[in-house]
Structure formats: structure tokens, C-alpha cells
Amino acid sequence: MVHLIKRRYLFVQIISSETIDEQVFIDTVWNAVLRLFGEYGTSQMNLILMRYSSEPNYAILRCSHKALDMVKASIASITQADGKPVAFRVLGVSGTLKALGRQLPKTQI
């Protein structure tokens, strides 16, 4: 029996007065996930950064479909990145990158 791993793709807007580096972004997200759900919860998420752009400020994350709410809660809890005030906002969620692209303005992806 084949078990398919269902995934969800999240389109995340980065709101900051300063440019946030890709490594700072992913470290900030991982730290938020670890803080809220610990190592066991984090291991269940299969969280991966798929795309990142500092201009315009957005990222696409992939996670397990069962962990979607935990990832969204972690992202919502972030207020600082590298000591700078920042906010991350989930603008779209989909099961495929193609469908995610249809949800968002063409200039975004």
C-alpha cells in the first residue's frame, strides 16, 4: 500500500522596514516553531523553504498537511527577526504550487 504524503504550500508576506535575509527568515521561523511546539512537534511538520524573495518580500514554505495549523500559529507569533521588528502574514495556502500561483497576483510568484 502506497501512502501519499500530503503537503501544503504557504505563501508568506514579510512585512519589515528593513530587508530580511533568507537565512534570518528561516532561522526565525524555525525558532518560533521550536518555541511553540518543541522538537517533537517540529519533527512532524516537514517544514521546508521552497522559495524566497527579498524584493518583493515573500517566501513560500512547504509543510505536512497535518501541521498546517501549527505552522500558521508559529508564523503568526513572530514579532522580531534578527532583533528587528517584523511581521509575517500568510496570504495563501494550497496543496500545489500551481494552485497557489492561481490564488495570488502574477507579480508575486
Predicted pLDDT at 105: 64
Predicted pLDDT at 29: 96
Predicted pLDDT at 88: 96
Q: Residues of the chain whose pLDDT is less than 50?
A: none
Question: Which CATH code is given to the segment(s) 21-103?
Answer: 3.30.70.3250
Beta bridge partners of 90: 12
Beta bridge partners of 85: 80
Predicted pLDDT at 1: 58
Of residues 56, 82, 71, 86, the one with CA closest to residue 7: 71
Predicted pLDDT at 5: 80
Q: How far is 92 from 97, CA to CA, in rounded Å? A: 11
Q: How far is 101 from 50, CA to CA, in rounded Å? A: 13
Predicted pLDDT at 102: 83
